[in-house]
Amino acid sequence: MSHAQNESGSHPLSYRFLAAIWAALLTLTALTIFAARIDLGFFNVVAALGIASIKSSLVIFFFMHLKYENRTIKTMVLVAFVVLAICIGLTFFDVGFRR
């Protein structure tokens, strides 16, 4: 049973490494609050979503272990996000061009 679990072939992540990711996430949170206080117009939205994307990548790749998974799961995650992006993106052909 336990040898089946070693299929993933990875060692548990060290506490030190996880704490570093945690610290990075907190720093980025501070950064996004700070960025929101400067008026950049439309770029406020871009900055907020950009930082949120970096934060979520850290969570997905390290906390959720995706970096160490096989290619099947990585591809599937990509497909799921692409499908979501398509749904929102194509809708904007309507809402973005409504008279």
Partner 1 sequence: MSEHRDYAGGKLGMWIFLFTEILLFGGLFLLYAAYLHRYPADFNAGGKQLDVVLGAANTIILITSSFTVAASITALRLGQTARCLWLLAATVALALGFLVNKFFEWSAKIGHGIYPGSQHLLQMPPGENLFFGLYYAMTGLHGLHVLIGATLLSVTAALVRKGRVTQGNFGLLENAGLYWHLVDLVWIFLFPLFYLIA
Partner 2 sequence: MDHGNVGGLGFLAPAPGRKGLLSWIGTTDHKRIGLLYMGCVGFMFFCGAALGMILRLKLMTPGSTLVGPQTYNAMFTLHGVIMIFLVVIPSIPASLGNILLPLQIGAEDVSFPRLNLFSWWLYVLGATLAVVSIFTGSGAPDTGWTFYVPFSERTTTNVSLAVTAVTILGFSSILTGLNFVTTIHRLRAPGMTWTRLPLFVWSLYATAWIQVLATPILGITLVLVFAERVLNLGLFDPGRGGDPLLYQHLFWIYSHPAVYIMVLPAMGVISDIIPVFARKNIFGYKMIAFSSLAIAFAGSLVWAHHMFTSGMSDTAVLVFSFLTFIVAIPSAIKVFNWVSTLYKGSISVEPPLLFSLGFIFMFSVGGLTGLVQGAAGTDIHVHDTYFIVGHFHYVIFGGTGLGMFAALHFWLPKIFGRMYDRGVAKLSFWIILVGMNVLYFPMFILGLEGLPRRYYDYLPKYAHGQVLSTIGSWILAVGLVIMFANLYRGMRRGPLAGDNPWGAATLEWTTSSPPPTNNFEVEPVVTHGPYDFRGVARHE
Which strand (E) or helix (H) includes residue 80? Answer: helix 71-95
Q: How far is the CB of 70 from partner 1 (least distance, A)?
A: 8
| 66: CB partners within 8 A, 6+ apart | 60, 73, 74, 77
Residues that bind partner 2 (CB under 8 A): 72, 79-80, 83, 86-87, 90-91, 93-99
Q: How far is the CB of 71 from partner 1 (least distance, A)?
A: 12
Q: Which residues ranging from 9 to 68 are in contact with partner 1 (CB under 8 A)?
A: 12-15, 18-19, 21-22, 25-26, 29, 32-33, 36, 44-45, 48-49, 51-52, 55-56, 59-60, 62-65
State yes or no: residue 75 binds partner 1 (CB under 8 A).
no
Residue among 62, 57, 64 at smallest CA distance from 28: 57
From 43, 75, 81, 82, residue interacting with partner 1 (rule: CB under 8 A): 81
Contact assessment for residue 3 and residue 23, using Cβ atoms and an 8 Å cutoff: no
Q: How far is the CB of 75 from partner 2 (least distance, A)?
A: 11
Query: Could you give the dihedral angle defined by the CA atoms of residues 17, 18, 21 and 26, in that order, rounded to the nearest 10 degrees?
Result: -130
